[in-house]
Structure 1
Amino acid sequence: MAVELERTEQVRSKIHIKNPLLRNALSEFFGTFMLLFIGIGIVMQFILSNEKLNTWININLGWGLAIAFCVYLCSKTSGGHFNPAVSIAFLTLGKLPLKDFLVYCVVQTIGAALGSLAAFGLYYGICDHYCSNNKFILDQVNKFAGAYRTIIGSKATAACFCSFPAFHVSNTTCFFDQFAGTAILVLFVCVIIDKRNGIPAAAHPLLFGLVVMMIGTAYGMNLGYPINPARDLGPRIVTFFIYGSGVFSYHSYYFWIPVIAPLFGAVAGAWSYTFFVGAHIPEQRETTYVLVDEANQPLKLA
């Protein structure tokens, strides 16, 4: 064990990144990659098994756990944003520089895209089998690698990657759905990280996961609660090469909504906490206890 520890430290000394932005960017990339690799796998297991191996509550639980453990993964580096909406909230609160925010957005989106692609690779064979009887839905134009992969229909698989609202859900509803869901997320992130609330730092990632579970159980019906521009846009870029341009034109070019609406919702959620609660929490003063004698005089300790 001692030898292994020494080797670990030797490797650490050689590859340790001292530049904070580069270090945090690497963490945001890898953390978002892992989040989507796990999260997309959860959704694929749900859809590709005809909803037999997973249920809706399993998706909420799985994503909550994925958030919790991935934030634990990067808690000592970037803090584990994995979400441009969270990052923009921190930017407006003065907790993140503009340059860092822009870099985070890029690496989060790339990490999300590659994470979803890796999950697709593991489920490629099952997806092929699932789509094999899907020929009656689309013509040869939508044929990919010998299987028919579709955005809509009884055997649609595009929803494994990102959100596609039903036709009866308007884009206006979609916008406010993403606004509200992200506002709730960031509001409670601010509650959890506010030192005045006294929540131990070790509990933060688990609580973040529980917040995501709560949102999913309350407002997952319309879109599946992406509430994260990188989470939706990154995999959608991947689907462009699998399903075609329809992933962007679907539902009157709905794709921009889960990218833009969460940014506004995040800022609203962060500042609503500040205005309604955070700014009004009394400052905690340290209590000092002094030993006194019978004459109520302070005792001198030897």
Structure 2
Amino acid sequence: MSELAEKFEQHNYETSSAYSSPNEIVLRADQTKGPQHPNRWAEIRASIREPLAEFLGSMILLILGCGGNCQVVLSTNTAVASSPKGSYFSINFAWALALGISIWVSGGVSGGHLNPAVTLALASFRDFPWKKVPSYCIAQLLGCFCGAAIVYANYYHAINLYEGGSGIRTISGTGDLFATYAADYMTSVGCFFSEFLASAMLIIAILAATDKKNIAPPTGLVPFVICLAFLVIGMTLGMETGYAINPARDLGPRIFTAMAGYGKEVFNFRHQYWLWCPILGSITGMQCGALAYDLFIYTGSDSIINKSRTRRPRSYATNGLDAV
């Protein structure tokens, strides 16, 4: 027994003396670890996982949403289908389900914004890091662009039949299946207000669905609730402008259609309608919608509306702790 104790003490001494400094302990600990990522792509993905999720979610949104537009409208031509395959409700339902599925795909990684206006609203009112805003918005725009391109490729021959030839591309024919264009009777102010209002309704629904101090659903059901909100917005406020309520959802496909033969008219429509209605209308609408929700309902400390008015002591800042 005493011999065993001597061996134990000797082992303890050798173990403790082997790591003579904290730096060596860290070094040896790192050496015993296996590789953090199994391959190079896994390492790259880990560094840009959130933008990748936004890209994929936005692409799925456009594939299923614009795909619904194309199926319903193109099938009204007897050269494409023997009978129409859907209605305006089908379009609304397709976009709503597309949004819900897209959020399910990306939400656990990036939050499932899929919309620059949502990202900006969360940065303004929910402490979403501003440094992440550019990468999110770029990923959303690229995802929507690619989604529109995929739908165009899928329905290419049907588009040719509907337009009357492979070299014919018009906004009134099939261009509005990808980007949004307001009804002819709408005034410029009316167009802006329609997008503003629909966008405000959407962000209010999103904030309510994620507010744990309200009647928030379980996390896994949040996409379904947002899906329902988007559906009712389309059924009540969507007719006049096509309810883009998402700058990337409109600009991505608009850029693609300009490249696909629809011409510069996609940007010249109604004196740069694309800028002041789908982009500025949706961004300002969501900012005001988020402001309204926080003024009347939200009590969380992460909102700028609920920030404490108490100033921090001067010594707190001079000690360098204000950056923590």
Q: What range describes the TM-score normalised by the shorter chain of this pair?
A: 0.7 to 0.9
Residue 84 (structure 1) aligned with residue 120 (structure 2): no
- Under a length normalisation based on structure 2, what TM-score does the superposition of the two structures give? 0.75
Secondary structure, counterpart of 1:196 in structure 2 = coil
**Alignment CA distance shift 1:18-1:149 (3 Å):** closer
* Percentage of pairs with the same residue: 33
Please point out which of 142, 148, 151 is paired with 2:171.
Answer: 151
Please tell me whether the aligned partners of residues 109 and 230 of structure 1 are also in contact (alpha carbons under 8 angstroms).
yes
Q: Tell which structure's C-alpha radius of gyration is larger.
A: 2
1:19 is displaced (CA, Å) by 7.5
In the TM superposition, structure 1's runs of 4+ consecutive aligned residues that sit over 6 Å from their partners are: 18-21
**Alignment CA distance shift 1:21-1:268 (3 Å):** farther
Please point out which of 239, 242, 252 is paired with 1:224.
Answer: 242
2:4 paired residue number: none
Encode CA deviations 1:20-43: one digit per residue, 9 max, x unaligned: 761100100111011101111000
Please tell me whether the aligned partners of residues 44 and 160 of structure 1 are also in contact (alpha carbons under 8 angstroms).
yes
**Alignment CA distance shift 1:19-1:271 (3 Å):** farther
1:16 is displaced (CA, Å) by 3.7
**Alignment CA distance shift 1:208-1:270 (3 Å):** same
Paired amino acid for 2:194: D
- How many residues align? The count is 255
| CA-atom RMSD in angstroms | 1.9
Please tell me whether the aligned partners of residues 28 and 108 of structure 1 are also in contact (alpha carbons under 8 angstroms).
yes
1:97 paired residue number: 129
Please point out which of 166, 170, 184 is paired with 2:201.
Answer: 184
Residue 33 (structure 1) aligned with residue 33 (structure 2): no
Alignment of 1:26-175 (within 5 A): 26-50=52-76, 52-132=84-164, 146-152=166-172, 156-175=173-192
Paired amino acid for 2:225: L
Please tell me whether the aligned partners of residues 44 and 123 of structure 1 are also in contact (alpha carbons under 8 angstroms).
yes
* CA distance, structure 1, for counterparts of residue 141 and residue 228 of structure 2: 23
1:136 paired residue number: none
Please tell me whether the aligned partners of residues 17 and 23 of structure 1 are also in contact (alpha carbons under 8 angstroms).
no
* CA distance, structure 2, for counterparts of residue 69 and residue 19 of structure 1: 22
Unaligned runs of 5+ in 1: 1-11, 134-145, 281-302
1:239 paired residue number: 257
Please point out which of 31, 49, 55 is paired with 1:23.
Answer: 49
1:251 is displaced (CA, Å) by 1.7
**Alignment CA distance shift 1:21-1:265 (3 Å):** farther
* CA distance, structure 1, for counterparts of residue 251 and residue 119 of structure 2: 16
Encode CA deviations 1:115-167: one digit per residue, 9 max, x unaligned: 0000000000111111117xxxxxxxxxxxx3311113xxx111111111122
* CA distance, structure 1, for counterparts of residue 124 and residue 150 of structure 2: 33
2:297 paired residue number: 277
- Under a length normalisation based on structure 1, what TM-score does the superposition of the two structures give? 0.80
Secondary structure, counterpart of 1:225 in structure 2 = coil
* CA distance, structure 1, for counterparts of residue 235 and residue 136 of structure 2: 28
* CA distance, structure 1, for counterparts of residue 189 and residue 62 of structure 2: 27
Paired amino acid for 1:101: V
Please tell me whether the aligned partners of residues 178 and 265 of structure 1 are also in contact (alpha carbons under 8 angstroms).
yes
1:94 is displaced (CA, Å) by 3.6
Please tell me whether the aligned partners of residues 25 and 107 of structure 1 are also in contact (alpha carbons under 8 angstroms).
yes
**Alignment CA distance shift 1:179-1:119 (3 Å):** same
Secondary structure, counterpart of 1:72 in structure 2 = helix
Please point out which of 212, 219, 228 is paired with 2:230.
Answer: 212
